[in-house]
Chains A and B, each alone.
Chain A
Amino acid sequence: AQSVTQPDIHITVSEGASLELRCNYSYGATPYLFWYVQSPGQGLQLLLKYFSGDTLVQGIKGFEAEFKRSQSSFNLRKPSVHWSDAAEYFCAVVNTGNQFYFGTGTSLTVIP
């Protein structure tokens, strides 16, 4: 069965510091992976996606993610965090039946 694990429930970083949010997936075939961000009271916004090709994908707002098949991971990174990045981040995988599975999310706090 497919699933997504985000091991970190909450992360706090200083503004300007680098960020890495972890995502591990369980899926038998080639996974289609996504990262979304949700600001308080808002819907989800797509940051980036991966389904084939280059394992390092670039997204919006300066985010990138690297797909590592050997580790079943798709970690999200940003070299320098801005206060406006404070939000909830969700990793997701979609199966061949077109069904999305989301991780439980990582809440990011940015301190000045």
Chain B
Amino acid sequence: KAGVTQTPRYLIKTRGQQVTLSCSPISGHRSVSWYQQTPGQGLQFLFEYFSETQRNKGNFPGRFSGRQFSNSRSEMNVSTLELGDSALYLCASSLEDREDPRFFGPGTRLTVL
């Protein structure tokens, strides 16, 4: 089975721009969650989508949004980029339930200049 794929792998943007990141989960997985990883804050949960519905949301401003499509692929959008948004954005997919492990993609490295 193919793993979780994320595109693009690297991205450079300037302040004020917006960005869309994409995540394709493992085939058969219906849950996709997103995380932001920075040296200062560590791994922080952004949101989780299950069957096209947002099931959970972390403590991030409304500039961070996401969606999930009927094929379980997910996108994350960040509008009005700030310097502090520079981070590694990780996507994880899982089957459905709490005990199901999350399988992570390689991440998208976003740099905001």
- A residues lining the B interface (CB < 8 Å): 32, 34, 36, 41-46, 49, 51, 90, 94-105
Contacts and interface: CB of A to CB of B under 8 A. Distances in A.
Given A42-B106, A43-B107, A49 B98 contact: no
Interface stretch (B14-22, B42-50, B79-87): B42-50
B90 A49 contact: no
Majority secondary structure of chain B interface residues (helix, strand, loop or mixed): strand
Interface of B: 4, 31, 33, 35, 42-43, 45, 48, 55-56, 58, 90, 92, 97-99, 101-107
Given A95-B98, A105-B43, 5 more contacts: A42-B106, A44-B102, A99-B45, A99-B56, A99-B58
A45 B99 contact: no
Interface centre among A34, A99, A100 (most CB of B within 10 A): A100
Contacts of B97: 98
A105 B107 CA distance: 17
B106 A98 contact: no
A51 to B, nearest CB: 4
A6 to B, nearest CB: 10
Contacts of B98: 32, 51, 94-96, 98
A69 B42 CA distance: 26
Nearest to B31: A98
A43 B105 contact: yes
Given A43-B90, A44-B90, A90-B43, A98 B104 contact: no
17 contacts: A43-B4, A43-B107, A44-B92, A45-B104, A46-B102, A49-B99, A51-B98, A51-B99, A90-B43, A96-B98, A98-B31, A98-B97, A99-B48, A100-B35, A102-B43, A103-B42, A105-B43
